């Protein structure tokens, strides 16, 4: 009987070892298929991290802007700007959409109204911090009253894959909002003295929200429920247009368009260092902590051409990834299903939804 138990244990250990080996191989293969996505003009494109194998994912979109990847659920998110008739006047529309990473199975997540391309004005009636009525007056047209719940004018958005929630900034009036992946349960996140949000990032492990405020030249942080508001960087020397987080290393990377530099700081904002200089108009930036590289877009004002560049996390080994591009509006890295879901206070790492093609 004891011999039988020993044999069963040996077989179990062998099977566990095989599962671990296969799992590690699959993770390795999946990471080898990492892709860099970007919005260029009216198209969404992708390539290998070294810039090879450039391909169109979606073409001929209606003014796409931000882009992000839901690594856990294997979805590509972006928003588009357009126009639509509403009560006899032409209003702007914003639509958040998602698709598979290859661009298939497009579906609408959330849609709302804002000012049309020619501009105009918005009047919001707020009493004791609660906004009831909203009127939009497109340039050259009569104003129209609209339900505040139908307003949707995000400059940026972020995805919480674990909670399956979308975070975005609402510009009319300025506030942070979130909703479920299916667009339901829209709620306001109350933030004191919020103004001109330009970029949003999430630290899912610590359940925190980071964002840039353009007017105050600040990077701010709070818990996802709106508590513990902190200023990480405030009154910086120039406006910060884009930033990203290295959650594991507790580092924030951001671009400085005016000085042509990329800088980083720790999560308390006390130590700011310049890691890359001599760039031409660096704009969007994204961190790939697993490959220990950063990627950013640059704009040459003289030629009006854009390119995507890359460097190590310490700023060394700067290289071109893609050159002679049109306007770049967003960057995202797809780690092909490798998604770290371990909380901040755990030492273990869980790999979820690893996909090998």
Question: Can you give the residue ranges of every domain in the chain?
Answer: 32-334
Q: What is the pLDDT of residue 31?
A: 44
| Position 144 confidence tier, pLDDT thresholds 50, 70, 90 | very high
Cα 271–Cα 274–Cα 280 angle in degrees, nearest 5: 150
pLDDT for position 25: 40
The encoded tokens of residue 111 equal 């849609």
Q: Which residue has the tokens 């450039």?
A: 54
Query: Which residues on neighbouring strands pair with residue 38, listed in sequence order?
Result: 45, 331
Q: What mean pLDDT do residues 307-332 have?
A: 94
Pairing of strands 305-312, 293-300: antiparallel
pTM value is 0.82
pLDDT at 329 over 60: yes
pLDDT of residue 187: 86
The answer for 160, left when phi > 0, alpha when psi is -120 to 50, beta otherwise, is beta
Q: pLDDT digits over 28-47, tens only? A: 333 448 899 999 999 999 99
Cα within 13 Å of Cα(349), Cβ side: 8
CA dihedral 108, 110, 113, 115 (to 10 degrees): -90
Considering the domain 32-334 in this protein, what is its CATH number? Answer: 2.120.10.30
- What mean pLDDT value characterizes the chain? 83
Q: What is the mean pLDDT of residues 64-81?
A: 91
- Amino acid 351: pLDDT: 34
User: Residue 154: pLDDT above 70?
Assistant: yes
Q: What is the predicted pLDDT for the residue at 110?
A: 87
């Amino acid at each position: 009987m004891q011999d039988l138990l020993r044999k069963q244990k040996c077989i179990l250990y062998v099977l566990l070892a095989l599962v671990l080996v296969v799992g590690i191989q699959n993770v390795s293969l999946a990471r080898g298929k990492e892709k860099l996505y970007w919005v260029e003009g009216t198209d969404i494109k992708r390539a290998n991290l070294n810039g090879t194998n450039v391909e169109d994912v979606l073409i001929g979109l209606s003014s796409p802007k931000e882009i992000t990847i839901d690594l856990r659920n294997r979805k590509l998110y972006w928003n588009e700007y357009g126009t639509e008739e509403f009560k006899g006047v032409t209003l702007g529309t914003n639509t958040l959409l998602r698709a598979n990473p290859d661009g298939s199975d497009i579906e609408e997540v959330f849609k709302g109204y804002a000012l049309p391309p020619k501009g105009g004005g918005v009047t919001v009636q707020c009493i004791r911090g609660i906004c009831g009525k909203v009127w939009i007056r497109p340039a050259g047209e009569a104003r129209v009253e609209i339900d505040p719940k139908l307003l949707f004018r995000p400059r940026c958005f972020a995805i919480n894959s674990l909670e399956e929630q979308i975070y975005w900034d609402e510009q009319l009036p300025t506030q942070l909002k979130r909703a479920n992946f299916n667009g339901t349960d829209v709620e306001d996140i109350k933030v004191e003295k919020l103004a001109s949000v330009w970029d949003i990032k999430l630290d899912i492990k610590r359940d925190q929200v980071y964002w840039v405020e353009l007017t105050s030249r600040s990077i701010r942080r709070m818990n996802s429920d709106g508590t513990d508001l902190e200023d990480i960087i405030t009154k910086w020397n120039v406006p910060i247009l884009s930033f990203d987080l290295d959650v594991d290393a507790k580092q924030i990377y951001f671009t400085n368009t005016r000085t042509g530099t990329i800088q980083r700081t720790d999560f308390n904002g006390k130590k700011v260092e310049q890691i890359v200089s001599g760039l031409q108009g660096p704009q969007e930036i994204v961190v790939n902590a697993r490959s220990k590289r950063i990627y950013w877009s640059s704009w040459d004002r003289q030629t009006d051409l854009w390119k995507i560049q890359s460097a190590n996390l310490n700023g060394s080994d700067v290289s071109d990834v893609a050159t002679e591009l049109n306007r770049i509006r967003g960057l995202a890295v797809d780690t092909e299903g490798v998604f770290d879901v371990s909380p901040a206070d755990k030492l273990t790492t869980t790999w979820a939804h690893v996909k090998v093609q």
